[in-house]
Chains A and B, each alone.
Chain A
Amino acid sequence: NAGVTQTPKFRVLKTGQSMTLLCAQDMNHEYMYWYRQDPGMGLRLIHYSVGEGTTAKGEVPDGYNVSRLKKQNFLLGLESAAPSQTSVYFCASTRAGLRQPQHFGDGTRLSIL
Chain B
Amino acid sequence: GQQLNQSPQSMFIQEGEDVSMNCTSSSIFNTWLWYKQDPGEGPVLLIALYKAGELTSNGRLTAQFGITRKDSFLNISASIPSDVGIYFCAGQPYNQAGTALIFGKGTTLSVSS
Within the complex, which residue of B33, B103, B104 is in contact with A101, where a contact is CB–CB below 8 Å? B33
Say yes or no for A33: interface residue by CB 8 A criterion. Answer: yes
| Contact status of A48 and B104, CB under 8 A, knowing A43-B88, A103-B45 | no
Chain B residues with Cβ below 8 Å from A59 are 1
In the complex the two chains form, is B40's CB within 8 Å of A106's CB? Answer: yes
Q: Which of B11-19, B63-71, B77-85, B93-101 contacts its partner?
A: B93-101
Is the Cβ of B31 less than 8 Å from the Cβ of A98?
A: yes
Number of residue pairs spanning A and B whose beta carbons lie under 8 angstroms apart: 64
B29-53 CB mask vs A (1 if < 8 Å, else 0) is 0110101000011111100101000
Q: Which residue of B lies closest to A45 (CB)?
A: B100
* B41 lies within 8 A of A107 (CB): yes
Any chain B CB within 8 A of the CB of A74? no
A79 to chain B, nearest CB (A): 22
Find residues 75-113 in chain A having any chain B CB closer than 8 Å to their own CB.
90, 92, 94, 96-107
Given A90-B43, A98-B30, A99-B48, A43 and B103 touching (CB < 8 A)? yes
Q: How far is the CA of A47 from the CA of B36 in the complex (A)?
A: 22
Min Cβ gap A32→B in Å is 10
CB distance from B3 to the nearest CB of A (A): 10
Which A residues lie at the B interface, using CB under 8 A? 4, 30-31, 33, 35, 40-45, 48, 50, 58-59, 90, 92, 94, 96-107
Hey, which bits of chain B sit against chain A, CB under 8 A?
A: 1, 6, 30-31, 33, 35, 40-45, 48, 50, 88, 90, 97-101, 103-106
